[in-house]
Chain A
């Protein structure tokens, strides 16, 4: 892990720099607001306790924001995946933001990416987050995340979601091959006790495709997993 410390430090420096750029644009805009939400849950998978989190937040005005996104997974006491993004986000259309910045993966191994993408609300209320990534090793990948909300009642809300990851080349260190690599989909059912506190249950289905699936098989890992997660959404 020591070899990655240097990378961690440089990633943080880039993040700070990006933030400063964002902050200067935001400062010029006027009223500043902030928002943060974190989903964190726990599941049992193959006898192990798996903890996952997914959070995002922003600070800024109507037109310019600094976005932060993070997600990760901890299994049997070890951090398996941890990702952090710091993005400058700019409103480019009534329902869309353009976002660009850096992503840094702390696990499974320290790796920095440049990223650019779009985030917003498509017609018929589909929440979309689409981004492309260029890693420090020159690998190109993309992800597309689509969420929807179904109101069973005003507070009981079902949210089907699907996220796919695509790679332009094989990246054996990450056990992914070119093409459609993974699908992470599911259905989250949450109950908004308040807008800021909502316990949920999430049925999650994750699988790898093509070369990525082959690599997992070769490593003796599951190609697909289904988990039931219990968690809570906290909103600031």
Chain B
């Protein structure tokens, strides 16, 4: 993708970035949001960038630093920047209509806050569909003291998805026809192959039952990504352009992955290298060596790789839809490249993976699952384990996870049930490939003395796919009518996420951390975005330590735009 500045655009802005880019710890920054002309797939397109580029400049801060960021909006519509995962005063959070009025065309808004944390984060517009058109960038905060993660060299890798259509048009198309972009639906031929090609009567029966079950729910197991037609970018570059990063053999290289895509989860691997995950959503975790990991929309993962040889490695980020991939190269010398691996098979959601996803629907034909929606999955397994005396409780292995609605690998490996995908890849099941799961995430340093939650707030993730309406507790967000989630400063709240839909939802809470309850007790990982798989229930505890009105939403941009959004209103504790 090449970028040219629009006529009359912001020379000064670009210049200032070039200067700031070299003065690493400057404490005043100028960012200008404006249209940029770019080329994707050989087509000239108008995106929206920051200081003339997509992604915007990488902001590099130091923990403890107080930064001042002047953001100028050169668009014809209101704009904003939100600092994703950063703890800050409510009025600096950058959500129009909630924490400030937005930045009017031609206006400059000055953000100012003090960094109280370190790690890999990002920033993006929170206005209309601007993030989908390119308004995002990396935000890296170096620790005030020695970094617990040792590395010789680092690279920031931002993944994104570019749609040639206007995102508003995509939303309209989905509203008129939910399968508008799905060209992987099951056909009559698939049906005959599954039913008449069955090797046994029971297999035939299962294939028939599967069609009946999905038909009864009026849901489509092939709907993985809602939207197709994306071109997948790595640091704004198409696969052919091959964004490249250097290393010296023998170095420890830290790769900071950020998923800034509108709708796309990526499965990431670097064939030939083991990736050691050291940081998730900005927080250090106990190192986990993996061959592959899935990064949900809005998450970040830092990995360490240690390439020993003088040869190039492909950084391969397959879109979960398998429609394409983002690709770059890690190389000792510019110009080298490694082969591009074939994409792994596209997953099809299984009825078992759907588990309790059909609450409130007519499930008369379902076997064994009828009682699922009301059941407390987590109480039976993972979610509450953090509260158990022995987090690695043995009984889990004996439980029938499949009947509980977890995905298939769960019957083989209890930890795989938190696998962020429903994929049943043979390689993973046979143990030849290790893939990161949420259960692997364990904070590097314990959060000592974190109290038990005072109460639980249930958030059913709901929606009507056929109409492309996405909701929380069956309510489409309406700023005037929706009763917000109320919390009191100082309390500790447990969020119970029950995903009743067939899509994954990366839920993002602004302003406060969510401690994912994954069975590690004091070392439960701290995240800003938690992806809840279809039919599953996850728990996260929040120490309510920031007053104000905070956004809380699904980070799939079109889900957010379709109603999967809430306000969390944190008030001063009421005297009793």
Contact = CB atoms under 8 A, between A and B. Distances in A.
Interface of A: 30, 33-35, 62, 91, 94-95, 121, 123-125, 150-155, 158, 195, 235
Contact of B215 (A35, A62, A94, A124): A124
Given A35-B176, A195-B173, 4 more contacts: A62-B467, A121-B218, A124-B218, A125-B215
B187 interface: yes
A171 B478 CA distance: 49
Residue with the highest number of chain A CB atoms closer than 10 Å, among B172, B184, B362: B172
Interface string B172-195: 110111001001111111000000
Interface majority SS (helix, strand, loop, mixed), chain A: loop
Contacts of B218: 95, 121, 123-125
A154 B362 contact: no
Contacts of A152: 187-189
B150 interface: no
Contacts of B212: 124
B433 interface: no
Contacts of B361: 94
Nearest to B187: A151
B216 interface: yes
Contact of B180 (A125, A153, A195): A195
B505 interface: no
Contacts, number: 56
Contact of A91 (B177, B187, B467): B467
A153 to B, nearest CB: 6
A123 B215 contact: yes
Interface string B458-479: 0000001011010000001010
18 contacts: A35-B176, A35-B177, A62-B562, A62-B563, A91-B467, A95-B466, A123-B215, A123-B218, A124-B216, A125-B218, A150-B188, A151-B186, A151-B187, A152-B187, A152-B189, A155-B183, A158-B188, A235-B176
Interface in B155-183: 171-173, 175-177, 180, 183
Kindly state the interface size class of chain B when it binds its partner.
Answer: 20 to 34
A33 B178 CA distance: 14
Contacts of B187: 151-154
A59 to B, nearest CB: 11
Contacts of A121: 218, 466
A154 B186 CA distance: 8
Given A150-B188, A152-B187, A94 B464 contact: yes
Contacts of A153: 187, 189
B183 A154 contact: yes
A198 to B, nearest CB: 12
A150 B187 CA distance: 7
A125 B177 CA distance: 13
What 7 A-B pairs come out closest when comparing CB atoms?
A35-B176, A124-B215, A151-B187, A154-B183, A94-B464, A33-B175, A62-B469
B185 A154 contact: yes
Interface of B: 171-173, 175-177, 180, 183-189, 212, 215-216, 218, 361-362, 464, 466-467, 469, 476, 478, 562-563
A151 B464 contact: no
B465 to A, nearest CB: 9
Nearest to A195: B180
A121 B188 CA distance: 20
Contacts of B215: 123-125
A33 B174 CA distance: 10
B180 A34 contact: no
Given A150-B188, A151-B185, A94 B476 contact: no
B466 A94 contact: yes
Contact of A34 (B172, B464, B476): B172
A155 B183 CA distance: 8
Nearest to A58: B176
Nearest to A30: B478
Contacts of B216: 123-124
Given A121-B218, A123-B215, A154-B187, A33 B176 contact: yes
Nearest to B181: A195
Contacts of A124: 212, 215-216, 218
Contacts of B173: 195
Nearest to B465: A94
Contacts of B176: 33, 35, 235
A33 B172 contact: yes
B185 A195 contact: no
A191 to B, nearest CB: 13
A124 B220 CA distance: 11
Residue with the highest number of chain B CB atoms closer than 10 Å, among A62, A121, A155: A62
Nearest to B183: A154
Nearest to B478: A30
B188 A35 contact: no
B475 to A, nearest CB: 12
Contacts of B563: 62
A123 B366 CA distance: 13
A64 to B, nearest CB: 12
Residue with the highest number of chain B CB atoms closer than 10 Å, among A35, A94, A121, A195: A94
Nearest to A151: B187
B37 to A, nearest CB: 26
A235 B175 CA distance: 13
Nearest to A125: B215
Contacts of B562: 62
Contacts of B478: 30
A152 B185 CA distance: 10
Contacts of A155: 183
A35 B185 CA distance: 22
Contacts of A94: 361, 464, 466-467
A30 B467 CA distance: 15
A235 B186 CA distance: 23
Nearest to A153: B187
Contacts of A150: 188
A34 B216 CA distance: 28
Nearest to A150: B188
A123 B362 contact: yes
A95 B464 contact: yes
A193 B188 CA distance: 19
Given A150-B188, A151-B187, A195 B177 contact: yes
Contacts of B185: 151, 154
A154 B183 CA distance: 6
A35 B172 CA distance: 8
A146 to B, nearest CB: 15
Contacts of A123: 215-216, 218, 362
B566 to A, nearest CB: 16
Given A121-B218, A123-B215, A62 B476 contact: yes
Contacts of A30: 478
A15 to B, nearest CB: 22
A155 B218 CA distance: 20
Contacts of A34: 172
B109 to A, nearest CB: 25
B169 to A, nearest CB: 10
A151 B211 CA distance: 14
